[in-house]
Amino acid sequence: METKNLEYEREEKYLEETVAEARSQLERARETLEKKRTEMLEVKKGIFENVGQGGVGNLSDPDDFDAFVELSQGMALVTGIADDYEETRRRIGRLEHTVRTPYFARIDFLFEGDSEPEEVYIGRNSLKTENARKIYVYDWRSPVAGVFYRFMTGPAYYDAPAGRISGEVQKKRQYEIKDSRLCYFFDADLSINDEILRQMLSRNVSPGMKAIVETIQREQDIVIRNMENDLLLIQGVAGSGKTSIALHRAAYLMYQGLNNRLAANNILILSPNTAFEEYISDVLPELGEENVVSKVFEDIIRSVLKERKTESCSTFLEKALWNTDYGRFRKMSMEFKTSAAFLRVLNRFVEEIPVRWMEFKDLYFDGRRIMTKEKLKQQVLRNPEMPLAARLRQSAVWVWEGIFGDRKGADKELQNALFQELQEILEPDVYQLYQTFWREGTYLWEEPWGELPENAGACTEREVEAVRNHTLANLEANRIDYDDAVVLVWLHLRLYGNQDYRHIRQVIIDEAQDYYPLQFDIFRLLFPNAKYTVLGDVNQTLTKQEDLSFYEQVREILGKKNSSLVTLKKSFRCTNEILRFSLRFIDRDLEISSFNRSGDPVKVRAFGKREEYLDGIADEIRQCQEKGMETIGLLCKNESGCDDLFDDLKNRVKLKQVRSDETEELSGTVLLPSYMAKGLEFDAVIVCDAGAENYMDEDDRKVLYVECTRALHRLSVFCEGELTPLAGEDPVR
């Protein structure tokens, strides 16, 4: 007992020293921040006073070059100070967290050849004296910290920039520290002690996702630290921590970026929807990093198609999830137009655009013909191995230089007229070309659609003709469905390319199973210099069926040399009861294990009357609140179902509806459609519309699986009328 007390006192003393050092650095950082702020204001004031008094030359005189040089130098000084100010501000945020919770773990590592082990304390951020002579805390992303996640006591190693370092883990210790106070610690022989993980999983969900550095599992750490692969594919079951892995991987990449100049704006996260973007927005700042660029696919559509209005993804999902002929048609049309087989057809069309579908004409300048249409076409058709966009640009430069190469004094009006004419010829309208493709129609019959596998674009001739007629009617009415928007983006990129994302070097794609082959080819075109982390679950598709061959298809499309597929089979989110219930909606042969955590039985109820149904939901919400659950998700298959339910429930309970075009904090009781719940989690979930008329086929099984696996602690499956037979059990009445 005395030894234990001495050890506790020793740990308390180290904590006091660490916190004191952090507070000292924090105070100095705050002083530096104030100095930077004052300095920045003084420089800006000086610049504008000089400008106002005519002190920085005569800025109104275009010939006074010195004035502009002086002004730009002053602004560069302001920018430099502002950058330092922002970095200091971020450092203050890191130090404030370090003061509250400096570390969460320690390993005693005996380096090979040493006689005494080194005590390595591990936290979210590193802390060392400003002369770097003593390191109080190692960043969780540092090479030596990886030993904590990957090894039990015994022989261990880690890979450092200088090479592999071997040794022995003699102790693994974990801490609970709150507000600079040591609550408790314990020694563990496992990668992460199950008890501390169980405690964290038993807590209520916060409105936004939180960092999980204290509980990263060995298999998760391997994915986070993977730097060998250009393409890292992760198939993870619901609740396996895919999104957390994605965000912690982004933080790790930025940590590694200190050596290879990878900045936050070089990383892009593709999120499934805006609610999800909001949900994950605090994780990287919590880890002490800037937020990386985050986008949804519709941001890409807008950036490429500019002013053209298109159907939103949420509107497409809303229609595609209807159990109607039209809903089934929209799913079939999307799969057809974005399939690998249709991609082959589109590539043939693009290759033939300059041969068959571009209208060349003679060029005239200053009243005389300067080039025949035949010669211009011949120039465009040269170098067929070069992308069409590059050939078109090259041809325009060739024409322009041939005329104006040594004629600097040429008439500007005539030059502009020629430029407009060149644009019309060498910049064909993508929308018109797409109409031509469907109107002409011959390309559609170059693939044996009926002989293809279902997930590769299989369609009957009648279905292909129906898609063609529907598409033509839309295009002629200037309507662009979501599937057509995807194809138009691809076509535009193939014709003209895009420079907006050339700086992106790492792309993280979450909920990847909901993207189609054509979208992955768009990623290939947009991010040619990037490495990829692709995370998904083939059991969580919403509008199609997928299996593990999906990842092989992604591998082929992205075409990266070094790739690897990692499978995460353990679910940490749901209780045993919720996970067992959810597994009835997916392939029973799939290997899924759960973190052993028990909870309430799943409640399944069918109500005969509307009033009883509404009272049942309201009563379940109250029960959840009485149990201390803070986030309760009410899920319907479609937004239209949410609209009806909200109107009937809003006077019974306090709740808010999250719409597809809004971003709401996911706190309290929220009502949202199934497709917006992707990647989210709640303390309790009520699937509100689990009736036979809503959930009927194999696609609906996946929707139910997604909905049910959003719950951490409590799940209820309710309906008005007859329960869906997909639930597989008789309801409680």
d(CA 351, CA 519): 20
Q: Is 228 part of any domain?
A: no
Q: Which domain holds residue 368?
A: 315-484
Of 113-122, 134-143, 454-463, the range with the lowest mean pLDDT is 454-463
pLDDT band at residue 732 under the 50/70/90 scheme: very low
pLDDT digits (tens, 9 = 90+) for 486-513: 999 999 999 888 888 989 999 999 999 9
Structure confidence at residue 66 (pLDDT): 54
599 and 480 in one domain? no
Q: Is 719 part of any domain?
A: yes
- Predicted TM-score (pTM) of this structure: 0.87
Average pLDDT, the chain: 86
Structure confidence at residue 714 (pLDDT): 95
Q: Give the end-to-end CA distance of the chain in Å, rounded to a whole number.
A: 57
Q: Is 148 part of any domain?
A: no
Of 100, 125, 155, the last residue of a domain is: 100
Contacts of 42 (CB under 8 A, 6+ apart): none
**Distances 241 to 210, 221, 487, 586, 598 between C-alpha atoms, Å:** 12, 11, 32, 19, 19
d(CA 335, CA 557): 16
Structure confidence at residue 191 (pLDDT): 45
- Split into its structural domains, the chain has a count of 3
Percent of the chain whose predicted confidence (pLDDT) is above 90: 56
More confident residue, 19 or 664: 19
197 pLDDT more than 70: no
pLDDT digits (tens, 9 = 90+) for 607-631: 999 999 999 999 999 999 999 999 9
Q: Is 112 part of any domain?
A: no
Of 438, 453, 484, the last residue of a domain is: 484
d(CA 72, CA 68): 6
- Reduced to 3 states (helix: H, G, I; strand: E, B; else coil), residue 473 is helix
More confident residue, 54 or 458: 458
Residues 478-486: what's their mean pLDDT?
A: 97
Percent of the chain whose predicted confidence (pLDDT) is above 70: 87
pLDDT band at residue 731 under the 50/70/90 scheme: very low
Could you give the count of Cα atoms lying within 13 Å of 586 in the half-sphere of its Cβ?
28
pLDDT digits (tens, 9 = 90+) for 570-598: 888 889 999 999 999 987 666 777 777 88
**Distances 123 to 135, 213, 286, 705 between C-alpha atoms, Å:** 12, 8, 12, 36
What residues form DSSP beta bridges with 633? 670, 685
457 and 329 in one domain? yes
Q: Residue 712's domain is classified under what CATH number?
A: 3.40.50.300
What single-letter DSSP state applies at residue 53? T
Q: Is 381 part of any domain?
A: yes
d(CA 180, CA 277): 32
pLDDT band at residue 69 under the 50/70/90 scheme: low
Q: Is 496 part of any domain?
A: no
Sign of the Cα torsion 449, 452, 457, 458 reads positive
d(CA 200, CA 480): 46
d(CA 30, CA 268): 31
Nearest to 465 by CA among 437, 444, 481: 444
d(CA 540, CA 678): 9
507 phi and psi angles, rounded to 5 deg? -120, 125
Structure confidence at residue 566 (pLDDT): 94
243 phi and psi angles, rounded to 5 deg? -70, -40
d(CA 470, CA 639): 24
Q: Is 334 part of any domain?
A: yes
Q: Is 125 part of any domain?
A: no
- Reduced to 3 states (helix: H, G, I; strand: E, B; else coil), residue 140 is coil
d(CA 104, CA 106): 7
- Whether the Cβ atoms of residue 550 and residue 513 lie closer than 8 Å to each other: yes
CA 235: distance to chain centroid?
15
703 pLDDT more than 50: yes
Could you give the strand order of the β-sheet that contains 267-270, starting from the edge strand earlier in sequence?
Answer: 293-295, 267-270, 506-509, 531-536, 231-236, 563-568
- Find tokens 């799943």 and name the residue: 602
Residues 124-128: what's their mean pLDDT?
A: 94
Of 100, 135, 162, the last residue of a domain is: 100
